[in-house]
Structure 1
Amino acid sequence: MIDALAPFLDPIAAAIVVGGTLAACVLRFSLVNLARAVGALRVLPRAEHDAEPQLAQIAALGRIARKHGVMALDRSVIDDFDVALGIAQIVDGAGPDEVAATLAHAREARIERHLGAAEIWSAAAEAAPAFGMIGTLIGLVRMFTAMQDPAAIGGAMAVALLATLYGALIANLVAAPIAGRLRRLARAEAFERARLEAPLVALAAREMPRRREIAA
């Protein structure tokens, strides 16, 4: 297997395409965003987000608040960030409008982070073929300057052809699919998380008059 792949391996062509693509991304994006893009790879195997567990927990928390009072929610263990954020505001006495605005802001910030990671992988998909062409030109220049040395022509031609191949493979089999998957997951999660807003806002609206009655 390794022997069969040996003709398609060239460190110079790989260095030009991979190194050039990385350099382009480093120059275009901050190191923090690049780290997020790499970290986003861990979500690729996950299924699309389903808000049903969070909706069930919100319903359970609503029953607890009705029976024991809203302050009892402060002792609840909540893993989901949006649900925890909304419940914390409700316990602190926030109204429905404030809860809705906070949840919307958190959702938009999450979307921006997810789409930012996808944008970096899209940029890599755009840059890889360009650096493949640059590698091809470098290989052709080396080939034409070594016309008097037949032994060097083969190596230069390999760089020229394999650089184009590497650029196309990185763009179409690695970077572009990753970007597309991240966008799909981000859209699905945003849609599902939008479903959390209504029950949390309803809970805030229900508890506000009760808190005022207790305070009075």
Structure 2
Amino acid sequence: MIDIIQANIDKFFDPLTLTMVIGSVLLMAWVQNGRASIGLAFMALLNCGRDPFAESGENATLICRRIDFVLQEDGLVGLERVKSDDSFVRRLIAQLLNGKDAKTFEEWARLEENSVRKRQNIPATYWSSASDIAPAIGIIGTIIGLIQLFATGIDPMKMGPAMSFTLLTSLYGLFVSHIIAFPIHIRLQTRAEILNTYRAAVVQHTIAIAKRELLTIGPVHFSPAQPLRAAG
């Protein structure tokens, strides 16, 4: 199999057809996931193969224990000394340090966590879409090639290029889907799950601290205005 490919490598590689397939896949995945998705998808490739906290060994239990230790020693003011490799956790701790009341902090933390989770999931979703779209793009190319093939009749000199285009588009669609996009999707999804689970645990812990350490403002109840009575 390898010998056949090596001997006919020029027949398996058509730069124009490959560019058309990859470009169509990336474009359709971008349309499906929004204008910011393609930039985030390619930026995520820089850290695709790295564990989020491989170097620091950071995890939710460690951060939560650091926070508790600092609170026991120095109170909320000491939270300035708690460091994290994750920018979201740093913002969360800073917000807790400067928080005025527990309710406001909880609302901010929930909204921010949801926003960060959505952004974290975008790259994996983009590459998942690319993986799903690529075979369809290959089939579309195959159908176009077959139409061209049947349009040429039985002329052997014209059948070759049309048949080659027909088979290569399917090959490239499957290659982009199963060899490129799907493995990237799995890796980014795993990374997103690690980060989202970690952040959710820290959010829960800091909300519990806020309810204990910060002022709790209850719901405001409004009473309907009483009509004024005429004097005398």
Are 1:208 and 2:208 counterparts? no
> 1:16 touches 1:131 (CA, 8 Å); kept in 2?
no
Q: Which has the higher contact order (CA 8 A, sep 6+)?
A: 1
- Please report the RMSD computed on the Cα atoms of aligned residues, expressed in angstroms: 3.0
Asked whether the 8 Å contact 2:70–2:79 carries over to 1, the reply is yes
**Candidates 18, 41, 50, aligned match of 2:45:** 41
Instruction: State which structure, 1 or 2, has the greater radius of gyration over its C-alpha atoms.
Output: 2
CA deviations 1:139-191 (Å, max 9, x no partner) are 22332333464333222111111111111121122222322332232223222
Higher helix share: 1
Aligned amino acid, residue 42 of structure 2 = V
2:158 corresponds in structure 1 to 152
Q: Is the 8 A contact 2:53 2:59 kept in 1?
A: no
Matches within 5 A, 1:67-78: 67-74=73-80, 77-78=83-84
Alignment of 1:4-153 (within 5 A): 4-47=8-51, 52-53=58-59, 55-74=61-80, 77-147=83-153, 149-153=155-159
CA shift in 2, pair 1:84/1:47, >3 Å? closer
Q: Which residue, out of 161, 177, 197, partners 2:183?
A: 177
**1:187 counterpart = 2:200:** no
Give the whole-Å Cα distance in 1 for the aligned partners of 2:86 and 2:194: 16
| Aligned residue type for 1:170 | V
TM-score, normalization: structure 2? 0.73
Query: How far off is 1:120 after superposition?
Result: 1.9
Structure 2: 5+ residue stretches without partners:
216-232
Aligned residue for 2:214, secondary structure, equals: helix
Distance 1:153 1:106, change over 3 A: same
Instruction: Give structure 1 stretches of 5+ with no counterpart.
Output: 210-216
Q: Where does residue 203 of structure 2 map in the other structure?
A: 197
Whether contact under 8 Å (2:99, 2:214) holds in the other structure is yes
Alignment coverage as a number of residue pairs: 209
Give yes or no for contact 1:86–1:99 (8 Å, CA) kept in 2.
Answer: no
TM-score by length of 1: 0.78
Distance 1:134 1:61, change over 3 A: closer
